[in-house]
Amino acid sequence: MTASDQPRPHSPGDAFVPKYRLPDWYLDHATPPADPAPVAWHSVDNPAIDFAARCRMCAAAEVVPVTIRSHQGLLVWMRGQSLDGPWCRRCGTSFIRKYSTRTLCLGWWNPLSLLVGAPAALVANAAAYRQLRRLPPPVPLPGHPQPDLGRPVLQRPPAYVALIPLACCIALIAALVSRI
């Protein structure tokens, strides 16, 4: 018997269309859905979840709206960055550490940045950090990863680059005071 001789359930020209009928025992005990259009458990765009009131990274529910700032003082001009939004404790702390380290490393290379820009960004980040520390530990939604916290700011080597312009500024002030 060859493959062409074997019986086929239906052929392309046949009018047979297979249909599945649920068994009676299932239909007798099935409960009708309460919602006419239920959202699938695996749905990415679940309309029941308001993502505007959740963490921007992990979609945790316990959030506080804060702005995380970074300041870069270049030789001639300055550049500031900020991240607005609701942040949970872990995600906000991670970005505050990253942006504060960047400010300590790159925020002092302009005279105006040394006096105004970098200290303002660091004070704003400290205030945001105090607000984030009051939150409970976050519970992210499945499929929304949380960033790595990393080391604290003062345990990161780039944070100590700020000592170079600070030492130069102190030496300059000491030289000016000694001449007077």
Residues linked to residue 78 through DSSP beta bridges, in sequence order: 73
Query: Residue 92 belongs to what domain range?
Result: 52-179
Looking at the domain assignment, is residue 78 inside a domain?
yes
Give the single-character DSSP code of 160.
G
pTM higher than 0.75: no
Looking at the domain assignment, is residue 87 inside a domain?
yes
155-179 confidence digits (pLDDT tens): 988 888 888 877 887 898 999 999 8
Q: If you search the block for the tokens 């600070």, which residue do you land on?
A: 166
Looking at the domain assignment, is residue 110 inside a domain?
yes
29-84 confidence digits (pLDDT tens): 766 655 555 555 555 556 667 777 889 889 888 999 999 999 998 888 889 999 99
Do the Cβ atoms of 89 and 138 come closer than 8 Å? yes
Q: Write down the pLDDT at residue 97.
A: 95
Looking at the domain assignment, is residue 73 inside a domain?
yes
